[in-house]
Amino acid sequence: MSHETDSRVEEQQRVDDVIQEIDKKEEKLYSKTSGLKESVIELRKNFWEDVTVNLEELDDVIETQASIKQQAELLSERERTHGKIGDELKTLKKLKDSPYFGRIDFIEDPGKEKEKIYIGISSLMDTNEEDFLVYDWRAPISSLYYDYPPGKAVYESIDDTITGEISLKRQFIIRQGKIKGMFDTGLTIGDTLLQQALGNNASTTMKSIVATIQREQNKIIRNERSNLLIVQGVAGSGKTSAALQRIAYLLYRYRKELHADNVVLFSPNPLFTSYIANVLPELGESNVRQTTFLDFLKTGIGDGFSIESPFEQMEYVLTKVGSADYLIRMESMDYKSSLDFKYMIDGFITHLEDGGIRFKNITFRKSVLISKEQISDYFYSLDSDISIPNKMELVTKWLLKEIAAHQKKEKKKDWVMEQVELLGKEDYLKAYYKDQEYDREDSGLEEKILRAEVVKRVFAKLKKRVKRLEFVNALSTYRELFTEWVPKEKPEHWKEICDQTAADLMCKSLTWEDATPYLYFKDRILGGHADRSVRHLFIDEAQDYSAFQFAYIKDTFPYTRMTLLGDINQAIYANTTKENPLIHDKLQSNHERITLTKSYRSTKQIVAFTKYFAPGKEMIEPFDREGIKPQLIKLNNTGKLAGTLIEAVNQLKRKGHETIAIICKTLQESEQMYHLLRDKVSVKQMNEETYSFEKGLLVLPVYLAKGIEFDAVLIPNASRQHYAREADRTLFYTACTRAMHELTMVTADEPCIFIQEAQKDKYEVKC
C-alpha cells in the first residue's frame, strides 16, 4: 500500500470517527428536544386553562395580566430552547455530510508538539467537550489555512500573536461522509477544489465559499481595522461572497456585542436579496437586515409619494433618447447626483433660517385651531442662533401646549357626550373606580371622567401628528428651491431643470435623482434620523451609487463601519459617471482599499474575450478553467432570431446547462423577447417585481442580472446599432460576464464596437 493510500485510509477512518461523535451528539439532542416539544405543545394547549381570567374587579384584572405574562414567558423560554436545539441539529446534519474541508499541521513556537487542525463550517468538540475535532473556519487559528503555504506562519489569537510552522496543508472533498478527493497543497486554496466547485451548474441561490476562500478574499473577511473598507473586484471575483463570509466572521468574532440586527446590507434589487438569502443560514448565522436603497429611501420619505426606481430611471435613459426633454433630464440627473447640488441645498437651508419655511394649518373637526401663519410667526420669533431642527422641537412643545388648552375647552361640548355613549364596558368600569377614589358628593364626576377620556383619545391622534412634525410642509418648501430661490452658482440649463422638477413635485412625484436630495433636505429641516444601532453597513454594487447618495449614507450612519463592494467596469447607471465613491480618494480617514483582479465565475475563454472591452483599466486575470470560446451568430435577417435562439437553447440544455439567461439591454427589449419566444419554448420573464428565480430559460434586462451568474448567457441583439454609444460599454460588459460556462451573441447587423475591440481569435463566428 502506498503512502498516499495509507493516508487516505487514515483520513477516512477519522471522518468515520467524527461522524460517530456527531451521531452521539444528535442522539442526546433528540432526547432533549422530544421532551421539550411535548412540553411546548402542552403549554400551548393548556395556556388559557392555566391562566385565571377575571375582568370584573380591578385587582382581578391586575392578577390576570400577571398570570398571562408569567405563562407567556415560560412558553417563550421553552420555545427558544427548542429552537436553539433545532439549530444545533441542523448544523450537525451539515457536518455529518461534510465534517470539514481542510487540515493543517501546526507546530507552535518554540517547537511544541505538532497539532492537527481540521477546519469546517462549524466547530465540533469531542464527547467530553475538551478537544476540538473540527475548528470553525472563522476561528483565529483557521486563518493559517487561508493565508499561508507550508512553512513559517503567524496568526492573531484573541490575546496574543502566535508564531510557528505549518508542516502540512491538506484539502478534502467530502460528500455523504466519504472522502471523494484529498490532496496536499501550497498557498492557493485548491485549484482542484475550485475547479470542481466552479465547474458545477449555476445555482438559484448563492453558495457558501468557505472551502475555497482565497488569500485576498480572506483579507476582506477578517479585516477588523478599517472604518471604511473598499473592495474593487472584477466581475466574478467573489467580492459579494467574501462580504457575506465577512458578515458571518464578524458575528462570530464579536458574538457577545454584535447581533444580526446591528448589520445592514444594501442589495442592488429584491432578486439579488433573494439570491444571497441562503448563505448566512448555511453558515449557522441569522440573516442580517437586508434592503435596497430604494426601500430605505421610501421609508424615510414616507407615504403619499410616487418615487421612481433606479431601474425606471435606467429604462428612461436607454429608451427615451431623442425625446423633447431628454437632454434637460440627463443634465438634471448629472447635477442632482453631484456634491455641488448638495452644497446648493445647504445654501438654500441657510436662506430658510431667515424665512421661507412653509407650514400647515392644524385643524380639528374641520376648524383651524392654529393657523400656518401663527406657526410661522412663532418659528421665526425664536432666536436666530438656534438651528432649524432645534427650533422645530421648540415649536412642537409650544403647539402641544396650545392643543392642550383647546383640549380642555372641548370637554364641555355636545359632540363629546355623543362619543361617550359609544364607549365600552371597560371604559365605564374604569370611570366608576376613579369616581370612587374622589369626592363622593360630586355627582357628575363619572361623566367628567368619561368626557375627559373621549377628548383625550381624539386629541391623541392630533398630538401624534404634531410630534411627527406633520405641521411642516417639507415638500412645498423644497419646491421653493426650484420656483423662487435664486442660487449664486447653478448649471447651464438651471431654469429648464427647475421647471421640470417643479412640475414633478406638484404631483408629489420624485425622480430617482431627486429622491435622495429631497430626503436629505427633509432631514436637515426636521432633524435627521441617524441610526446608531447599525454597527456595520455593507453596500453591494457600490459603483452604482452617486456622490450625493454616498454622502447622505455617511451622514445617516455616522458611527457605522462600512464595507463597499463594487466594480467600476459595471457602473451602469447615469448618475455614477462622476465622483464615484469607488474611484475617488476623498474619503473619511482610516479607509482601506482591496482590489480583486482574478475572475472565478467565467471560463478562461470568456474572460479572455471580455477583458478587451472592460470599461476600467484594471488587470483582469482569468482562473484556469477551460471552456469553449464565446460564439457570435450572424443572421441574414431578424426573422430567423426566434429559431436561432431556440436552437441555441436546446443545444445548451443538451450539454447539461440548467440556468440559461437571455440578457437584454432594456426591460422593453426583454418583453419583446419574451413575447417572441413564449409560445415556442418554456420561458420565464423577470422584472423589477421578481423576488426569486428558478432554473430554466429566463429573460431579463441587464440591470437585474447584476451580481447573479448563469450557466450560459445569450445576448439576442449584439449589433452596432443596438449597443451604439460608449455609455453602453458597461451594459454589454456586465451582460457578457454573467456567463459561467458559455456565452452566445446574436446579431442580424454589424457586430457592436465592443466585440470588434476583441482579437478575432478570442471568439468564434457562425453564420
- Taking residue 299's Cβ as centre, other Cβ atoms within 10 Å add up to 11
Question: Which triple of cell numbers denotes residue 391?
Answer: 427650533
Q: Verify cis geometry, omega within 30 degrees of 0, for the bond prior to 558.
A: no
238 annotated ligand-binding residue: yes
Using CB atoms within 10 Å of the CB of residue 3, give its burial: 0 to 12 exposed, 13 to 18 middle, 19+ buried: exposed
Q: Measured between alpha carbons, how far is 608 from 603 in angstroms, rounded to an integer?
A: 9
286 annotated ligand-binding residue: no
Q: Measured between alpha carbons, how far is 543 from 583 in angstroms, rounded to an integer?
A: 8
Task: Give the pairing type, strands 696-701 and 659-664.
Answer: parallel
DSSP output for 46-69 = TTTTTS----SSHHHHHHHHHHHH
Distances (CA, A) of 534 to 259, 553, 592: 10, 12, 20
Task: Report which residue type is found at 558.
Answer: P
Which residue bears the cell 405574562?
Answer: 69
CA angle 706, 332, 665 (to 5 degrees): 30
Distances (CA, A) of 689 to 270, 311, 692, 700: 8, 11, 9, 12
Specify the 3-state DSSP secondary structure of 460.
Answer: helix
| CA dihedral sign, ordered 534, 540, 541, 543 | positive
Q: Measured between alpha carbons, how far is 632 from 732 in angstroms, rounded to an integer?
A: 14
Question: Which triple of cell numbers denotes residue 50?
Answer: 392555566
Q: Verify cis geometry, omega within 30 degrees of 0, for the bond prior to 622.
A: no
Distances (CA, A) of 18 to 134, 581, 739: 9, 48, 39
DSSP output for 685-706 = E--TT-----SEEEEEEHHHHT
Total count of residues recorded for the chain? 767
Q: Measured between alpha carbons, how far is 683 from 699 in angstroms, rounded to an integer?
A: 7
List of E strands, 356-496: 362-364, 367-370
Distances (CA, A) of 424 to 94, 275, 304, 431, 522: 56, 50, 34, 11, 41
**3-state helix, strand and coil shares in percent for the chain, rounded to the nearest 5:** 50, 15, 35
Q: Considering only CA atoms, which of 619, 640, 644, 620 is closest in space to residue 631?
A: 644
Annotate 15-53 with b (16+ C-beta within 10 A) or e (fewer): beebbebbeebeeebeeebeebeebbeebeeeeeeebee
239 annotated ligand-binding residue: yes
120 annotated ligand-binding residue: no
Q: Measured between alpha carbons, how far is 484 from 480 in angstroms, rounded to an integer?
A: 5
Q: Considering only CA atoms, which of 308, 408, 378, 404 is closest in space to residue 688?
A: 308
Q: Measured between alpha carbons, how far is 180 from 450 in angstroms, rounded to an integer?
A: 78
237 annotated ligand-binding residue: yes
- Taking residue 617's Cβ as centre, other Cβ atoms within 10 Å add up to 7
- Taking residue 578's Cβ as centre, other Cβ atoms within 10 Å add up to 13
Q: Measured between alpha carbons, how far is 91 from 349 in angstroms, rounded to an integer?
A: 54
Q: Measured between alpha carbons, how far is 483 from 432 in angstroms, rounded to an integer?
A: 59
235 annotated ligand-binding residue: yes
Q: Measured between alpha carbons, how far is 56 from 81 in angstroms, rounded to an integer?
A: 36
Question: Which triple of cell numbers denotes residue 201?
Answer: 451548474
Binding-site residues for ATP sit at 233-240
Binding-site residues sit at 233-240
